[in-house]
Amino acid sequence: MSDAYHAVPAELRLDALWKPFTANRQFRAAPRLVVGAEGVHYRAADGRRILDGCSGLWCVNAGHGRREIVEAIQAQAARLDYAPAFQMGHPGEFRLAERLAAMAPPGLDHVFFVNSGSEAVDTALKIALAYHQLRGEGTRTRLVGRERAYHGVNFGGLSVGGIGANRRLFGPLLPGVDHLPHTHHPEHNAFSRGQPAWGAHLADALEDLVALHGAGTIAAVIVEPMMGSAGVYLPPVGYLERLRALCDRHGILLIFDEVITGFGRLGAAFAAERFGVVPDLMTVAKGLTNGAVPMGAVLVSEAVHRTFMEAAATPIELFHGYTYSGHPLACAAGLATLGVYEDEGLFARAAELAPAWEDAIHALRGRRHVTDLRNLGLVGAVELEPRPGAPGARGFEAFLRCFERGVLVRVTGDVIALAPPLVIERAHIDELLGVLAEVLETID
């Protein structure tokens, strides 16, 4: 590895910071720092450009350093830096809520602001529980998630999430949670282009839970319409439709966690639109502000919202919220971001680029170590055969080697996830997949 690539400014001391989801002890010995970003590139301390193959952490959908967004944040900071979130308001939060509701599938008309994806998930779960209470169905307290799901790191999201490593050290978590089976099957689904054909029947596991516990005990089902962090798993054709039908039949709320899939990743504003299935509650974050200011939101159906407005026995309809809910800077960033998405037609652009993207991903078929390739819109995954006795080692090595060659990818275990900014050009796609192909030849 080149030393320049690990260069750290002389005055920086690395040991005070404890970085999240990071091998800190390794990282301090060989840190990767970026000091700037523009378009589809990061800039390292030594001036090297790094092609951003994962939109930061799936959030910088409009590309880095967008002038419109920067200027909106600057202007807002100078005009109104902060407004109390409770019992007070400022125009930006109303404007953004309206704009977001207009962009969302019909029926998701009300918006509750939070500061992250994790907060959005826990807020959505709490709204679901309170909704049933207000309707006189307080026995509906059970929550249903899925194996391998990632719903953030707060206690609700961890409880419905299905990634063992994230849960293991934190005790019993929420009671009354079940997990549906995940939908990936290496034999049936490998090398699917877009949604796999096999697996819709796995939604029927919800029927088994209903039989086991009684429909009147289940409050909500939460799924990522496309699993992101677990390694980019697309829903089998018909799966989400089946979940929707079962939820309707049994009075269970359906929550889509669209923290990754929101804002164009799949070639439509939301996965709900792309797949034609509308949930009762939808969580978003990340691309909402293009990653520039932390923000998340829960979009709520008219029926759920109306229940609170009509049935709450207290003047305050929901005893929940955050100091920074609807923060003025986040709202300014969000408004500017949605403006960029719309003005530049970036969701349609993602859809237009998708066939070339799909071909570029699947051109890796037959390369060393590759056991599966997955894609939809502008998201993709390259799954590698784990090194015997060392799961994740090959994936991490691929990540390091790509970075050395000026390409940033995201790796979970032995799955390399790709999710470039929606402004990516064809030449960048060739570069991204070209470097990855070379790297696969160089690793054991």
Residues that bind ligand PMP (CB under 6 A): 116-118, 121, 150-152, 224, 228-229, 257, 259-260, 285
Residue 379: enclosing H or E segment and its boundaries? Answer: strand 379-384
Minimum gap (Å) between residue 105 Cβ and ligand PMP? 18
73 or 419: whose CB is closer to ligand PMP?
A: 419
Task: Tell me how far, at minimum, the Cβ of 259 lies from ligand PMP, in Å.
Answer: 4
Rounded to a whole number of angstroms, the CA Rg of the chain reads: 22
| Cβ closest to ligand PMP, residue 285 vs residue 298 | 285
Chain-centroid distance, C-alpha 337:
17
- Partners of 416 in the β-ladder: 382, 411
Task: Provide, rounded to whole angstroms, the least separation between the CB of residue 58 and ligand PMP.
Answer: 6
Cα separation, 365 vs 304, in Å, equals: 46
Q: Minimum Å distance from CB 361 to ligand PMP?
A: 20
How near is the Cβ of 285 to ligand PMP at its closest, in Å? Answer: 5
Q: Nearest CA to 96 among 341, 333, 422?
A: 333
**Please, what is the angle between helix 328-343 and helix 346-362, to 10°?**
70
Separation CA 10–CA 12 (nearest Å)? 6
Cβ distance to ligand PMP smaller for residue 44 or 408: 408
User: Which residue pairs, CB below 8 angstroms and at least 24 apart, start in 107-111?
Assistant: 107/278, 107/301, 107/302, 108/272, 108/278, 108/279, 108/282, 108/299, 108/300, 108/301, 109/300, 109/301, 109/302, 109/305, 110/299, 110/300, 110/301, 110/302, 110/305, 111/297, 111/298, 111/299, 111/300
| 224/273 with CB nearer ligand PMP | 224
Nearer to ligand PMP, 117 or 279 (CB): 117
Q: How far is the CB of 318 from ligand PMP (least distance, A)?
A: 20
CA dihedral over 11, 16, 17, 23, signed as positive or negative = positive
Comparison of 128 and 370: residue with beta carbon closer to ligand PMP? 128
Least Å from the CB of residue 138 to ligand PMP: 27
Report the residue number, 236 or 287, with the smaller CB distance to ligand PMP.
287
Pick between residue 142 and residue 146 the one whose CB is nearest to ligand PMP: 146
CA torsion, points 263, 269, 270, 275, in degrees to nearest 10? -140
Instruction: Between 117 and 287, name the residue whose CB sits nearer to ligand PMP.
Output: 117
| Number of Cβ atoms within 10 Å of the Cβ of 168 | 8
Q: How far is the CB of 25 from ligand PMP (least distance, A)?
A: 23
Q: How far is the CB of 343 from ligand PMP (least distance, A)?
A: 26
Give 302-370 as a DSSP string. HHHHHHHHHH-SSSSS-----TTTT-HHHHHHHHHHHHHHHHTTHHHHHHHHHHHHHHHHHTTTTSTTE
Question: Nearest to ligand PMP by Cβ — which residue?
Answer: 117
